[in-house]
Amino acid sequence: MLKNFSYFSDITPTLKKILSLVFLFCFLLLEPACISLDQISASNTITKKDELLLAELRLVKLHLDQGDPSTAWSFLRPLTKIHADSSKVLNLAGITHLSLRNHKEALKYFEAAYKIDKDPAAALNISSTLIALGQYHKARELLIALLDKDSGYPFKERILHNIGLSLHRQGKLKIAQKYYNRALVENPSYYLSAFQLARIYQKLRKKNLAIKQFKSAIALCKSCFEPVKVLASIYLKEGYQKQAEKVVQDYLKLKEISPIDEKSAHKLLALAQKAKKPV
C-alpha cells in the first residue's frame, strides 16, 4: 500500500500518491516536503500485541491513502493515549495532523517520536513541519546536522530535497536549485525534486528547461496530476493547444489516477479544447 516516499510545497498530488512516492512520502501542501513513513514498518519479531497495533496502524494509513485524515485521526487518537511511548504511533499521528494541516500539533508528535529513538526519519518529518510553519532556518539547521553526521539514514536525497525546499520557500532559487540537483544526483528517480526543479525553471522564465523538466517529473510519477496541469498550462499560454491536449489525454489514459484528479484533468482538457489555435 504505502511505498517509500516524501512531499511538501509544490504540488498537490493526492495524499495517496505522495505517500506512495516518497516511500515515506512527502505529504504535500502547496509544495511538498519530504515526510517519512519509514518508522511505521514492522520488525521481524513481533508479539501479538504488536501485531494488533500494526493492524490498527494499517487501518489508519488506509484512510490517509483515501484522503480522509479526519477518519484516520478518529482511529488514531485513542492509540496515542494507549501507546504514548510508541514512536510508530507518534510519527503517524504527526503525519495525520500534517494532512489535516494542523502543523503545530504535527510538530509536537514528531518531536515526541524523535525523543524516543532519535530516528533520522523522525528528524526529517520535523524539518518538513518546520518548513510548513515558515521556520526555514531552524529546519535547515536540523537537516544540515543530519548530513554532517553518519546517521545511517539511507535516503539522503530526502534531506537534500528539504534543504532545497526551505531555500525555495525563501525565494533563494539559485541555491535551492543546487540542492534539488544534488538530490537528483543521489536518486535520479526522485520525483519531488524533479518537480520542484521544474518550478524553479518556470519561475526563472527558462521556458524550455521548465518544459523539459516537467516532462521528466511526469515520467517519474505518471499518476501525479500537478506536473501535467502545469505543463498543459504552459503549452496553452504559449499557444500550443495540441500539445496541451495531448499531455492531458495521455494522463487520462492511465488507470491508477484518483477520481478527484480525473475530474480535474477532464476540466483542463475541456479548457484546452476551447482554446484558440495559434495563428
Q: Do 249 and 116 sit in the same domain of this protein? A: no
Q: How many CB atoms lie within 10 A of CB 37?
A: 26
From CA 134, how far away is CA 111, in angstroms rounded? 17
Per-residue pLDDT at 61: 92
Q: Do 91 and 165 sit in the same domain of this protein? A: yes
**Is residue 107, in this structure, part of any structural domain at all?**
yes
Q: Do 172 and 254 sit in the same domain of this protein? A: no
Q: Do 229 and 216 sit in the same domain of this protein? A: no
Confidence of residue 264 (pLDDT cuts 50, 70, 90): very high
Q: Do 162 and 259 sit in the same domain of this protein? A: no
Instruction: Supply the range of the domain harboring residue 256.
Output: 222-279
Q: What is the pLDDT of residues 152-195, one digit of tens each?
A: 788 999 999 999 999 999 999 999 999 999 999 999 999 999 99
Per-residue pLDDT at 82: 93
Q: Which of 95-99, 210-214, 258-262, 274-278 has the lowest mean pLDDT?
A: 274-278
φ, ψ of residue 119 to 5 degrees: the values are -70, 130
Signed CA dihedral, 203, 204, 206, 209: sign only: negative
Q: Do 111 and 240 sit in the same domain of this protein? A: no
Q: What is the CATH number of the domain that holds 78?
A: 1.25.40.10
Q: Do 135 and 78 sit in the same domain of this protein? A: yes
Question: How many domains is the chain partitioned into structurally?
Answer: 2
Which of 220, 248, 267 is the endpoint of a domain?
A: 220
Per-residue pLDDT at 30: 37
**Is residue 244, in this structure, part of any structural domain at all?**
yes
**Is residue 1, in this structure, part of any structural domain at all?**
no
Which of 179, 199, 220 is the endpoint of a domain?
A: 220
From CA 84, how far away is CA 106, in angstroms rounded? 15
Q: Do 159 and 245 sit in the same domain of this protein? A: no
Which of 220, 239, 260 is the endpoint of a domain?
A: 220
% of the chain residues with pLDDT over 90: 70
Q: Do 103 and 198 sit in the same domain of this protein? A: yes
